[in-house]
Amino acid sequence: MRLGVPKEIKNHEYRVGLTPDSVREVVSHGHSVVVETGAGLGIGASDADYQAAGATILATAAEVFEMAEMIVKVKEPQAVERKMLRPDHLLFTYLHLAPDPEQTKDLVESGAVCIAYETVRDAKGRLPLLAPMSQVAGRLSIQAGATALQKANGGCGVLLGGVPGVAPAKVVVIGGGVVGSHAIAMALGLGADVTVLDRNVDVLAALSEQFGAALKTVYSTNASLEEHVTSADLVIGAVLVAGAAAPKLVTAEHIKAMKPGSVVVDVAIDQGGCFETAHATTHQEPTYIVDEVVHYCVANMPGAVPRTSTYALNNATLPYVLALADKGYKQALSDIPGFLPGLNVYKGKVTVKEVADNLGYEYLSPEDALASE
């Protein structure tokens, strides 16, 4: 199979679909790889590095899309890229379709087979291709929040860990999954006063055992959410409903009741965000202010640390890339436990129920999609 790796073009996105090491693995399996020139510069990988790994360098994304059978990316294809998709293309990347009707429409109309990293599950039901970026985003959320708290950036001027004799910042994490646990680890490491809210008592118990008495665990109700959010200096939105739009847990009224100069970081913004006042921002202009509360809502947070993010992502995605290339998508999706839910769009049909329901498409199950030919 011929794999294509275009350069990412989303605002300040420096990650790349395949590293040179991954390319070498793909080539060793008897496949070929075409890479757009400069695609790896954001992670410190030159065209020469890719050529040494066995890739062919092409001058434009259009040439990559023209030659490739499978497109391997990081972020969802932008409008100009979606126009280059064909019915014979296999697309493997993050998609986050539920809050993105334009992308969904274009992918449906392309006729391509589109598999999304974020809805692939493993044998235990976990999200193995989302987890590495959730780890990065969780850790970054604290760095971003701490920076936004600085007075020059619109914050209230509180140091996250405080100093002897001065109380630390109060950090509230909504959601105790992968993002939340990594945000907690970073915040506690910096000396913050950290509280996590979740509706799963088993998750709270596990976090309590992991972090000990330093972490306050609270069962999330409307009342407890309001109490802790409105008294926080920094709130991390770490809520995930796989494949679906994120629930708006923090309302505009909650934001209005927060302290002036407090900060919210919406890690769920890829799925529409869990703050009612949230809208996607970019690394170029990462924050905005609503009711004197600083909002950080960058939709590709891990792109800020592309070397770490790309290598972590490739560690997880490479076995799936190889399976798709070696076996073809039908066999690979059937053989690997949990891979089939990754199928989001199949030859003009939406194969994720949450996306179909949210955006008004007829739903075709992935099982029926693969059996349709």
228 Cβ neighbours under 8 A, 6+ residues apart: 172, 195, 197, 218
Separation of alpha carbons 369 and 360, rounded Å: 18
Phi-psi region of 212 (alpha: psi -120 to 50; beta: other; left: phi over 0): left
96 counts as catalytic: yes
Indicate the SS3 state at residue 47: helix
Q: Which of 96, 182, 228, 254 is catalytic?
A: 96
96 Cβ neighbours under 8 A, 6+ residues apart: 76, 116, 118, 270, 271
**Which residue from 84, 71, 89 is spatially nearest to 35, judged by alpha carbons?**
71
Tokens 């990412």 locate to: 8
153 Cβ neighbours under 8 A, 6+ residues apart: 147, 287, 294
Q: Which of 193, 198, 266, 270 is catalytic?
A: 270
Q: How far out from the chain centre does Cα 167 lie? A: 33
Rg for the chain (alpha carbons), in Å? 21
Using DSSP bridges, classify how beta strands 343-346 and 349-350 pair: parallel, antiparallel or unpaired.
antiparallel
Sheet holding 170-174, edge to edge: 215-219, 193-198, 170-174, 234-237, 263-266, 293-296, 287-290
Separation of alpha carbons 366 and 59, rounded Å: 36
Planar angle of CA 229, 299, 365, nearest 5 degrees? 100
291 counts as catalytic: no
Dihedral sign from CA coordinates of 195, 197, 202, 207:
negative
Separation of alpha carbons 173 and 59, rounded Å: 44
Give, to the nearest 10 degrees, the angle between helix 20-28 and helix 306-327. Answer: 10
Catalytic residues: 96, 270
